Amino acid sequence: MPSIVVVGTQWGDEGKGKIVHLLGKEADMIVRYQGGPNAGHTVVFDDKLFVLHLIPAGILIPKKICIIANGVVVDPLALHEEVKLLEERKIKVEGRLFISELAHLILPYHKILDVAKEESKKGETKIGTTRKGIGPAYADKVERVGIRLADYLEEDTFKELLEQNLKLKKEYLGSPSQIEELKNQILTQASSLRPFLKKFACDSSLDLNLALKKGKKIIFESAQGTMLDIDFGTYPYVTSSNPIAGAVGSDCGIGPNKIGSVLGIVKAYTTRVGEGPFPTELEDEVGKKLREVGKEFGATTGRPRRCGWFDALVVQRSVSVNGIEKLALTKLDVLQGMYPLKVCIAYEHHGRILKHFPNSRKVLQESKPIYKTLNGFGEIGKSVRRFKDLPLPAQKYVRFLEKISGAKISFVSLGRSRDETIRISKTSLWN
């Protein structure tokens, strides 16, 4: 099938937006399949910086069709603001963006719940949520009290479901008068946003299956990264959905046999936002330099990212879980002038060598990285577009990451612009 799934192989922020924008030139449709406005994709287009939270990065490419699928939780107000900002910057959205009628919505009470639950936790039990209401919205979906776009568009249905939800959550929402005020606020907001959302509503499963049947090229774009997957990530410090490639089927309503290739996006070092274990984290000057040179601050929250050396066990797990055969390596340029470079090749736990990422949270917390030291490299010229023109130690670093990760590195990104990319493999990703 002519489709590509683009997934993050670490804890998110690997540079998926840029790669989707790069490959989007060859695609007909770009689909966001999970997550919510807690994710931020930073893309440089026409020398302008765009930060997208819900809308697929492909919206920046003229005439491309973009879909927000049923696996995404959508904040109607945040979406309205994002569309408005894009249109103010002369990016046409209407007629190109569509949202699944089955997508669940984030409403103001979800954000209240998110903050209340995070504040009630202490110390290491805090997850480090973005407080955007994503977790509570997914919880409602699983508890079968969620409100979907289709429900929101039907005024009577929405009012009935809203009252039901406010009753269920009243202990978190304040006094009866405060709840009544919240209800009126939400109903007023819905009346205002309903005509706007109706223009984008679609049966995305039907549309995607028809497009695939016609041979259209589709990119399925994840948010976050594999190590934040609710099943395979560093639980409980994870997101509330499945960023892995296997989720495309249920999150888009297509069969698994319609997924073509899987491209993993991997940073040349490792970063993480929020709480949770991070074996290769550097809390020294090297970590500080990675943050400053790599501009490692959250696209959604602005929070400084925790930085560390490349962790091969993390990427190996992602390659296995997602069925990745090809990788795009990003931010290699950030490592210029750093001597030496280190790569975590195993963990040590109480004298035992671990060669696979552990499932036990206790073991992971107590594990220490075992490093292989490699030579650093000097300046990479801005005009470098061929792998052989990279400094030799940089080439060796890339080849080592490729060997230890277990997947072929097909792209090397050297900057934020899509043009600052080396395409190593000429083999098409479109299966």
| pLDDT per residue as tens digits for the range 274-319 | 899 999 999 999 999 999 999 998 766 678 999 999 999 999 999 9
Q: Which residues, at least 6 apart from 368, have a Cβ–Cβ distance to it below 8 Å?
A: 279, 347, 348, 349
Q: Which of these is catalytic: 41, 53, 104, 110?
A: 41
Point out which residues pair with 417 in neighbouring strands: 44
- Two tokens at 48? 């302008």
CATH number of 104-198: 1.10.300.10
- Two tokens at 135? 């977790």
Tell me whether residue 13 is one of the annotated catalytic residues. yes
DSSP 230: T
Query: What was the pLDDT predicted at 262?
Result: 97
Q: Which of these is catalytic: 13, 114, 251, 333?
A: 13
Tell me whether residue 207 is one of the annotated catalytic residues. no
CATH topology of domain 3-95+204-423: Adenylosuccinate Synthetase; Chain A, domain 1 (3.40.440)
Q: Which residues, at least 6 apart from 253, have a Cβ–Cβ distance to it below 8 Å?
A: 69, 70, 100, 102, 204, 205, 206, 208, 209
- Type of residue at 226: T
Query: What was the pLDDT predicted at 125?
Result: 59
Query: What was the pLDDT predicted at 52?
Result: 84
Query: What was the pLDDT predicted at 50?
Result: 80
Residues of the chain with CATH 3.40.440.10: 3-95+204-423
What distances in angstroms separate CA 343 from CA 146, 175, 314, 346, 417, one per listed residue? 44, 54, 11, 9, 26
Measured CA to CA, the distance from residue 346 to residue 6 in angstroms comes to 26
pTM over 0.75: yes
Count Cα neighbours of 158 within 13 Å in the Cβ-side half-sphere. Answer: 21
Residues of the chain with CATH 1.10.300.10: 104-198
Point out which residues pair with 307 in neighbouring strands: 271
Query: What was the pLDDT predicted at 382?
Result: 84
Q: Which parts of the chain sit beneath pLDDT 70?
A: 1, 39-41, 45-47, 121-126, 128, 299-301, 431
Query: What was the pLDDT predicted at 39?
Result: 64
